[in-house]
Amino acid sequence: MQCYLDNAATTRPFAEVRDIMMKTLDFDFGNPSSKHAMGMEAEEYVEAAREKIAKTLKVNAGNIVFTSGGTESNNQALIGSALAQSRKGKHLITTCFEHASVYNPMEFLRSRGYEITYLPVDSLGHVDPQVLKDSIRKDTILVSCMIVNNEIGSILDVAELSKAAKEVNPDIIFHVDAIQGYGKVPIYPKKMGIDMLSVSGHKIHGPKGSGFLYIGDGVRNLPIIYGGEQQKNRRSGTENVPAIAGLGAAVDIYFKNHADHIEKMYANKERFIRELDEKIEGATVNAIDRSIPLSEAVRKTAPHIVSVSFEGIKAEVLLHALEDEEIYVSSGSACSSNHPGISGALKAIGVKKELLDSTIRFSFGLFTEGEEIDKAIEALGKLLPIYRKYTRK
């Protein structure tokens, strides 16, 4: 049995996603900007997906801009807003454990004369709102943070952080990277003080190459892609109708019986951690509050991510040993695998030095079943003693 526990990297698309994408490729393949019937049919797919997404966030459909995925959404949010607000100031704030698609645009802006402040996090991956408040200056124009950390699964209280920032300066733009959070935790931009929100479709059983950026009313954001002025000149380029239609289908399915879907992932996560605690020696689950009952602690984190540090073995060795058993996991963010190194997230939460390169990320999706949890635990119990013995030699 193949055991796929790398759903934070990407998810298997729903069958309905594949079907609607094939339909738009084979039959409804018109350009949504064309004024004839086939073009209007293609546009209907785009607008239907926009409406479905907006409904999940309780926002207006006109606030949704389709992109090629989370990376583009983050780049558009950060660079577009920084350029639009540059006369007001050039100071930006983010956290010390953001995804590369936030960190690298921030560093690009630094090279163009902007100043960046990186906020610390505690051992559970949380940001102190007072620290954010104290970091805001007269020239601060934007704050950006993730709602769910992609490596350790901590949930940041973005509503409280936005409130803190806007108490100091109501004009600050508050951006949230929700690539790991959309569909996993409640997100309502208007209620939570979120001005911009980035999402990627392939994290919720939609297609790769799909995503969107929510831009709130009145938020100034200059385009970073220029061309035919599609999507009200916020993102030029012919819309990727198959990907957008697939994303709309994924949203439709994912948010149907949503509470049941979330509870299934939480149940798998709790089961996995309990099995680790009981059966696997030298395993430490990161960013879980052990001062409260496990069931409660698990539900204070995202439902799909478990970060585990294993004593006496390198993450890369264990990853490939598990792969030989047809168990697929990650040693961190999949997007960082092209630039391997010690995880900034693990350093940020204070993981022991000797465990920094001994940490594996297990992540669950809607297709994850209990049998996969059992197989992973059984394999860890078999492999770890062997490889630890080999490592000691």
- CB neighbours of residue 8 within 10 Å: 29
Q: Are residues 243 and 309 both part of a single domain?
A: no
Q: Are residues 188 and 290 both part of a single domain?
A: no
What pLDDT is stored for residue 392 in this prediction?
55
Residues linked to residue 143 through DSSP beta bridges, in sequence order: 93, 174
Per-residue model confidence as pLDDT tens digits over 7-42:
999 999 999 999 999 999 999 999 999 999 999 999
Query: Would you state the structure tokens that stand for residue 38, as one six-digit string?
Result: 């086939």
Give phi and psi for 360, each to the nearest 5. -115, 140
Q: Which residues are catalytic?
A: 335
Query: Would you state the structure tokens that stand for residue 126, as one six-digit string?
Result: 């949380």
Query: Would you state the structure tokens that stand for residue 309, as one six-digit string?
Result: 């540090």
Per-residue model confidence as pLDDT tens digits over 96-148:
999 999 999 999 999 999 999 999 999 999 999 999 999 999 999 999 999 99
CB 240 within 8 A of CB 250: no
CB 158 within 8 A of CB 95: no
What pLDDT is stored for residue 68 in this prediction?
97
Q: Are residues 250 and 287 both part of a single domain?
A: no
Parent domain of 114: 15-254
Kindly give, in sequence order, each residue whose CB lies less than 8 Å from that of residue 181, ignoring residues fewer than 6 positions away: 146, 147, 148, 155, 187, 302
Write down how long the chain is. 393
Q: Are residues 87 and 223 both part of a single domain?
A: yes
**Counting Cβ atoms within 10 Å, is residue 96 exposed (0-12), middle (13-18) or buried (19+)?**
middle
Q: Are residues 262 and 243 both part of a single domain?
A: no
Between CA 28 and CA 184 the distance in angstroms is 32
Per-residue model confidence as pLDDT tens digits over 313-364:
999 999 999 999 999 999 865 444 444 455 689 999 999 999 999 999 999 9
CA 128, 158, 86: angle at the middle one, nearest 5?
Answer: 95
What pLDDT is stored for residue 111 in this prediction?
97
Sheet bearing 283-285, strands edge to edge: 283-285, 305-310, 359-363
Per-residue model confidence as pLDDT tens digits over 272-321:
999 999 999 999 999 999 999 999 999 999 999 999 999 999 999 999 99
CATH of the domain at 342: 3.90.1150.10
H helices of the chain, in order, are: 15-26, 37-57, 70-84, 100-111, 129-135, 158-168, 189-192, 230-233, 241-254, 258-279, 294-298, 315-324, 344-348, 370-392
Give phi and psi for 44, each to the nearest 5. -60, -40
Per-residue model confidence as pLDDT tens digits over 165-210:
999 999 999 999 999 999 999 999 999 999 999 999 999 999 999 9
The number of folded domains in the chain is 2
CA nearest neighbour of 327 among 282, 365, 379: 379
Between CA 1 and CA 372 the distance in angstroms is 8
Confidence band, pLDDT 50/70/90 cuts, at residue 390: confident
> For tokens 């929100």, what's the residue?
197
Per-residue model confidence as pLDDT tens digits over 54-69:
999 999 999 999 999 9
Which of 212, 239, 254 corresponds to the end of one domain?
254
What pLDDT is stored for residue 123 in this prediction?
96
With H, G, I as helix, E, B as strand and everything else as coil, classify residue 61: helix
Q: Are residues 324 and 229 both part of a single domain?
A: no
What pLDDT is stored for residue 343 in this prediction?
66
Between CA 27 and CA 100 the distance in angstroms is 38
CB 375 within 8 A of CB 3: yes
Q: Are residues 169 and 250 both part of a single domain?
A: yes
